[in-house]
Chains A and B, each alone.
Chain A
Amino acid sequence: MPAAITIAILAILLFAFPPLYGQFLPQRLTDYLIFGLPALAVGLIAGQARLLNVGVGATFGVSAYVVAILSHDGLLNPFVLMSAALVSGLLVSGLFAIYAVVASGLEYLLLTLLTTSAFFTASLLALNLTGGENGLNVQSPVGVAFGLDPLQGNGFYWLLCGVTVFWTALSWYLLSARVGRAMIAIGRNPVRAASMGYSVHAYRVWVTLFSGAIAASGGWLYALAHGFVFPDLLGLANSLNAVIYSLIGGVDFVLGPLLGTVGLRFLIEYSGQQTTQSQVFIGLALLVVVYFFPDGVTGRIRQLLQIRRRWRAKDVVEMHESAATLTTAEESDAVFGERGA
């Protein structure tokens, strides 16, 4: 329950606070949250289900491209575009789900990697459809975003907040539910889970499609927010970025990947304005995080809270023990008279 309250408070803050700060903060957060969605997907599929998937960028990118391509074909209905983006993302995830059934470990990792590279290359080859290396713009970017201009007002930001809160809350709920616990158990020890009667394949397909839907939402929103798509969105770099964001934020807690995305993207933007060697500082920051926070920032916070809880518990036990000793002493005093008397 405390986690639910935390998520609810954060959700309210997310909706209400940034617009009070002006136009800029919601727009920066828009960008962070969009890339936070594929990171959240990675947190679920790799962090919880222990499937080493580096193909989330393909799901994200295909959904974004579908919006741009269909808008060029004159299809500008926002609901149709949203559905098409999600369905296309689910189709790509379906491919990864097949891999999750037929392969595991390193084989699975390589299959997702090669598939992502293939999507990237395909976007370069299908020049007339995708614009090749130059990318492709989205026609009528405000119209396809339900009339919400990402650069003006808070409407688009609230739409994005709604989508993010929906997926985050649903992920949290499912992870807390029986289905999520079974998935985590399968991730940690699939043989043991299978021997207990769980269908390992079914759960893996489920988590792949669920995380794919989250990443596809990110791709759809990216195309609406920026009105421009390009091959890097489909490529390995985008996938690995999502992995890094989730590892930095920590995958133990559902908000970890989102926090990791906000932190690292802010660092990249800020350092890029301060120095010509920003990559060195970003690399150092990553080393520090990996060394001091191997379970990510939220993982470390959780550990610290556990230590505090243990200390408190220890204090309570000691208090009980000393109280018990005192009581025994008082009783014996009563029996044998005052000490030292």
Chain B
Amino acid sequence: MKLLGPSSLVGRTMTGSAAGLLLLAACGGTSSGPPQASGPPIKIGVLDDNAASTAVEGAEMRVNTDLAVAQINAAGGIHGHPLQLIYTDPQAQPDQAISQAQSLVQQQGADVLVGGVLSSECLGVENLVPRLSVVYLSSSGCASEAFTRTQCNSYSFRANVTGRQTTIPLGAYMVSTYGKKWGIIYPNYALGQSNLAAFQVGLEAAGGQLVKSQIIPIPFPETNMTPYISKIATDGTIDGLINSEVSADLVRSSNVIAQFGINNKLPVVSFLGKDRFAGVYPDSLTGSVGYIPELSDSPADNKADIAYHAAFRQQLAKEPANIQTTLGGVDKAVPGQLGYQAFTAISALKLAMLQSNFTGKADSQKLIKALETLKAKQGSDFPGGDFAMNATDHQASQTIYVIKIKGQQEQVVSTFTPDKLPAIGSCVVK
């Protein structure tokens, strides 16, 4: 059992402090630097899954959460109170997530909760937090629309965009650019079915549709994609193809699509971001279209994003070897969509805590009010783009970019700011 070392709880606190000191030193942190965070700490309980199935999400959450907290503490914390992270690993088991959330608050004194990668985890924790009277922000993952669409509550917030918030703008771009008729391949289990429904909504909102004969489920797990991809019609039946496979299946399916030359005949819409491919896009993805809230490679004119990427790499170098390897190594890794979600969740918390003079769990109601009305422009806290929280359902909107892949480049073909994104539903917090 590892009690000390960079990955341990003690090590984690020390690493955070060391990172803060280093940043202070780099900024010439003397009497003229930011005030030291020396008050009682504000504890953030983090449900960070490190199971095999959620290794990438867990690693991205950890590095980006560490980074955001180190930066906040280096800048003086929350009115002098340093942030202290308490990590726990539910191992992608919802029952563990619920138990550990309870433990974080009731035993370890967490003032705020974040994390929970799987939808079933974050939905379970969301259901728990009103009874614990503690504010909860989802972090990396937690893609289910239900979190803010059907079972929202006053203590729970989601800082990242999801579901129809993304497929409606993307659908509008797909229909206006390529045409109305689309086919889709999707993994035939819950996630794939949910993606299918989200794309259906997105296309229909733009006057497009999924062609019935070209809705192709691929059994899960299935490594041989050929029998399914060979059903895709390239004779004009559809104007484009949505590849809604994820992880290793996305690479496999993209390779087969390229093998059949389908990507030369039809536009292909996929889930993109270099973090999904250990930092390097495979050649088969060239020409693919997708959306992303923060570009894998910082644009030259976005200084905040360039600084974010540099700080991310510095932070990653301090993390345990297994985290570095999971993300493709320090030289190739990028913060990633999921990592960006974790970073901006902590940024949102920071701004709301500063605004509400938050010092601990007793100030939860003040923190809720501040989070509900939080708006931020692109900058060091939200390097990808603008941010706005919807007070009605506690679902945030962030700028998203529709991108097209050319080799390792992500060409931005359309941008949707928070005010252009649709509401996720009609849930009203009580």
Contact = CB atoms under 8 A, between A and B. Distances in A.
B131 A151 contact: yes
Contacts of B2: 274-275, 277, 281
Nearest to B320: A276
Interface stretch (B81-89, B363-371, B385-393): B81-89
Contacts of B100: 269, 272
A213 B103 CA distance: 29
Contacts of A137: 123, 127, 151
Interface residues of B, number: 48
Contact of A273 (B62, B89, B95, B322): B89
A131 B48 CA distance: 24
Interface stretch (B189-197, B262-270, B406-414): B189-197
Contact of A232 (B58, B87, B94): B94
Contact of B123 (A135, A274, A275): A135
Given A151-B102, A269-B100, A274 B131 contact: no
B146 interface: yes
Nearest to A271: B1
Contacts of A228: 94, 98, 123-124, 127-128
A231 B322 contact: no
Contacts of A327: none
A268 B52 CA distance: 15
B96 interface: yes
B106 to A, nearest CB: 5
Contacts of A131: 146
Interface stretch (A22-30, A187-195, A203-211, A300-308): A22-30
Interface in A272-303: 272-279, 281
Contacts of B107: 24, 28
A134 interface: yes
A152 to B, nearest CB: 8
A275 B7 contact: yes
B89 A278 contact: yes
Contacts of B131: 141, 149, 151, 227
B18 interface: no
A279 B51 contact: yes
Contacts of B96: 268-269, 272
Interface residues of A, number: 38
Contacts of A273: 9, 86-89
B329 to A, nearest CB: 17
A272 B54 CA distance: 14
B99 interface: yes
Nearest to B10: A274
Interface centre among B99, B123, B127, B194 (most CB of A within 10 A): B99
Contacts of A141: 131
B102 A133 contact: no
Interface in B105-159: 106-107, 119-120, 123-124, 127-128, 131-132, 144, 146, 151
Contacts of A237: 93
B106 A24 contact: yes
A28 B128 CA distance: 15
A137 B8 CA distance: 34
A310 interface: no
B74 to A, nearest CB: 23
A276 B323 contact: yes
B3 interface: yes
Interface string A105-136: 00000000000000000001000000111110
A287 to B, nearest CB: 14
Given A230-B120, A232-B95, A124 B89 contact: no
Contacts of A135: 94, 120, 123-124
The binding surface of chain B is classed by DSSP as helix
A230 B124 CA distance: 8
B106 A133 contact: no
A332 to B, nearest CB: 65
B71 interface: no
Interface in B50-102: 50-52, 58-59, 62, 86-91, 93-96, 98-100, 102
Nearest to A31: B99
B120 A133 contact: yes
Contacts of B94: 135, 228, 230, 232
Nearest to B105: A151
A100 interface: no
A276 B89 contact: yes
Nearest to A237: B93
Given A134-B146, A135-B94, A279-B51, A274 B8 contact: yes
Contacts of B95: 35, 222, 226, 232-233
A133 B91 contact: no
Interface string A129-169: 00111110100010000000101000000000000000000
A23 B106 contact: yes
A281 B194 CA distance: 35
B127 A276 contact: no
A275 B95 CA distance: 19
Interface string B293-327: 00000000000000000000000000010110000
Contacts of A230: 94, 120, 123-124
A226 B106 contact: no
A123 to B, nearest CB: 10
Contacts of B59: 276
Nearest to B119: A134
A21 to B, nearest CB: 11
B85 to A, nearest CB: 11
Interface in B1-32: 1-3, 7-9
Contacts of B124: 135, 226, 228, 230
25 contacts: A27-B106, A31-B99, A35-B95, A124-B189, A133-B144, A135-B94, A135-B120, A151-B106, A226-B95, A226-B128, A227-B127, A228-B94, A230-B94, A232-B120, A269-B103, A272-B88, A272-B90, A273-B89, A274-B7, A276-B48, A276-B58, A276-B59, A277-B50, A279-B50, A281-B1
Given A134-B120, A230-B123, A268-B91, 15 more contacts: A23-B106, A31-B99, A35-B95, A133-B191, A135-B124, A230-B120, A232-B95, A232-B120, A233-B95, A275-B1, A276-B62, A276-B322, A276-B323, A277-B2, A277-B50
Q: Across chains A and B, which 4 residue pairs bring their CB atoms closest together, nearest first? A: A133-B190, A272-B89, A230-B120, A228-B124
